[in-house]
């Protein structure tokens, strides 16, 4: 399993996101390659990201949101 996390440069959720992912993987008895990427608004726009954090598991967004902007 591959987990990719895209986080705004201004977002303070990285530490709690790492903790939550580790906890979820442990509870489910799963292993994953987890990558964290800090992006600015321009980079996020090019990727089509809608919020921060944006989390993808095996290429599928976990919680897609219908909001504009990456903050």
Structurally, the chain folds into a number of domains equal to 1
User: pLDDT tens-digit profile of 32-68?
Assistant: 999 999 999 999 999 988 888 999 999 999 876 665 5
Where do the H-state alpha helices sit in 1-71?
Answer: 14-28, 41-47
For residue 56, the enclosing domain spans 2-61
Can you give the CATH number for the domain in which 14 is found?
3.40.30
- 71 occurs within a structural domain: no
- 24 occurs within a structural domain: yes
- 67 occurs within a structural domain: no
Across 15-28, average pLDDT: 96
Separation between Cα atoms, residue 68 and residue 53, nearest integer Å: 13
Strand-by-strand arrangement of the 33-39 sheet: 33-39, 2-8, 54-57, 60-61
**Is residue 18 scored above 70 in pLDDT?**
yes
């Amino acid at each position: 399993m591959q987990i990719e996390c895209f986080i705004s440069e201004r977002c303070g959720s990285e530490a709690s996101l790492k903790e939550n992912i580790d906890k979820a993987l442990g509870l489910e008895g799963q292993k994953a390659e987890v990558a964290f990427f800090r992006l600015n608004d321009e980079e996020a726009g090019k990727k089509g990201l809608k919020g921060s954090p944006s989390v993808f598991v095996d290429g599928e967004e976990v919680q897609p949101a219908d909001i504009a902007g990456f903050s």
